[in-house]
Structure 1
Amino acid sequence: MTLTVEASSLSLNDVHRLLKLEKLSNGLFRDFLNLEPLTMFEQHDLLRIRSDFDRYLNAGKISEGLVKFLTIAPLMRLAGFYDVPIRLTMEDSIAIAVEDEDKKITGRMDILAINSPQSITAPPFLILVIETKNSAINVIEGLPQLITYAFKSLEQQSSVCGLVTNGQLYQFVYLKRDQQSTYQLMPLLNLNESPDAIELLQVFKAICKLPNFH
């Protein structure tokens, strides 16, 4: 009998063991992304996103749904994720069969950015997996879910980027499939700090423009 396990109940140790994933030392965005300067228009819009979020945060806890509405949606639009050939989906269910164990991991991915190729024979390429939490939750608590969801895409591609956020803090993860599948944490970014906010939008833009995705 197969035991079903919810991804939300897993610890990082569970993820390492069940998915046979190895954690590498923390990486840098510039190791695999080309971070370009922002235009004045982008900086202006970014400041407005920061101000809107800060206003709501000062009033109290921000729900997971509102985090998506206030930060993720406008940041992704500004970064180019709403443009063809990228397609966004939400609340996609997954199921991962665990090797050597009679277990299945299930869950729902919050937001997916997918490259939809023009050729009908080419498979879609998952660009970015996003897991959102409410503003009171530490982003580290969302890492097991995010890594599990991003790992699912390695069945069809060699690498993928993931992001877990509570609206204020943004933790990107880079997963790679090899003989030993691995993941790396990137620098933690804070939307409420100017240098971090600029780098955050630069990272979104760079992921959107990676050559392998177009």
Structure 2
Amino acid sequence: MPITLETSTLSLNDVHRLLKPQKTSKASSFTEHLTLEPLTELEQQDLLRIKNDFRRYFAAGKVSEGLIKFLAIAPLMRLSGFYDVPVRLTMEDAFAISIEDEDTKITGRMDILALSNTQAKTANTFWILVLETKNSSVDVFEGLPQLLTYAFKSLEKQSSVWGLATNGHRYQFVRLEQGNPPIYKLMPLLNLIQSDDSIQLVQVLKAICQLENSVS
């Protein structure tokens, strides 16, 4: 009898068993794949406002997933260029993955997906960034099983994709690449509250957004 699994029920072990991605043991850095540019003074001022808004709510207690998207994710993505043409954002997109050699299907809904429509020469839309959000009381790594599953779907059409799991104050970027087996790399963990980390967070988001100009 066919089995349907929801991404929200999967553990990291489940993802490894079903989709067979392999975590690289090599230490990874953002500059391996991205060119990080300094922030302008205006960008740093906008970032400070985002940090202060989030810090105020975070200090008062648990921040929900919905509020995190409103307070931090949306303004960070706007600051980083994700609201500009030709990037297109979608939310709560349904998807399904059929597992080869097993009568199993994985279904779920992605929190936020950034797409590029510049690849008009091909029949495929290029996935720039897959984003999974958890509330502030949840460890950011608990979002990895869902994030890896969503990102894995894009490898049917492209060679690599970036993912981001966050609980509002901590941000875990992941790069997933085609291969046999597929490989994923965990980038250094960033904290919105810390000054240097927050600047690098925006630099990384801006650099990923600029990937819409070329297939990675």
- TM-score band, normalised by the shorter chain? over 0.9
Alignment of 1:97-108 (within 5 A): 97-108=98-109
Q: Distance in 2 between matches of 1:193 and 1:128?
A: 23
Are residues 1:22 and 2:36 paired? no
Counterpart of 1:16, as a letter, is H
| CA–CA separation in structure 2 for the residues paired with 1:181 and 1:69 | 33
The secondary structure found in structure 2 opposite 1:209 is helix
Question: Aligned to 1:178, what secondary structure does the other structure show?
Answer: coil
Q: Which residue of 1 aligns with 2:3?
A: 3
Question: Deviation per CA, 1:81-100, whole angstroms, max 9, x where unpaired?
Answer: 11111000000011111111
Matched, 1:152 2:153: yes
- In the alignment, structure 1 segments of 5+ residues that lack a partner are none
Amino acid paired to 2:114: A
The one-letter amino acid of 2:214's match is N
Letter in 2 for 1:64: E
Where does structure 2 lack aligned partners over 5 or more consecutive residues?
none
TM-score of the superposition, structure 2-length normalised? 0.96
Q: Is the 8 A contact 1:20 1:180 kept in 2?
A: yes
Which residue of structure 1 aligns with residue 183 of structure 2? 182
Residue 13 of structure 1: how far off its partner (Å): 1.3
Task: Provide the secondary structure at the position in 2 that maps to 1:105.
Answer: strand
Following superposition, the deviation at residue 179 of structure 1 comes to: 2.7
Matches within 5 A, 1:36-185: 36-117=37-118, 119=120, 121-185=122-186
Superimposed CA distance per residue, residues 103-135 of structure 1 (whole angstroms, 9 cap, x where no aligned partner): 111110000000012637542101000000101
Contact 1:115/1:213 (<8 A) preserved: no
Moved more, 22-31 or 162-171: 22-31
Q: What is the percent sequence identity of the aligned residues?
A: 65
- Give the deviation of 1:157 after TM superposition: 0.6
4+ residue runs over 4 A deviation: none
Backbone CA RMSD of aligned residues: 1.3
| SS at structure 2 position matched to 1:74 | helix
Counterpart Cα distance in 2 of 1:118 and 1:15: 30
Asked if 1 retains the 8 angstrom alpha-carbon contact of 2:115 and 2:126, the reply is yes
What displacement does 1:9 show?
1.1
Structure-2 separation of matches of 1:135 and 1:161: 22
Q: CA–CA distance in 2 between the matches of 1:101 and 1:121?
A: 31
Distance 2:156 2:109 in 1: 17
- Kindly state the Cα deviation for residue 209 of structure 1 after the two structures are TM-superposed: 1.0
More deviation, 164-173/121-130 = 121-130
CA distance in 2, matches of 1:120, 1:36: 29
Counterparts of 1:205 and 1:109, CA distance in 2? 21
Secondary structure in 1 aligned to 2:52? helix
> TM-score by structure 1 length?
0.97
Pairs aligned (count): 214
What is the rounded CA distance, in whole Å, between the counterparts of 2:215 and 2:119 in structure 1?
12
CA contact (8 A) 1:76 1:204 kept: yes
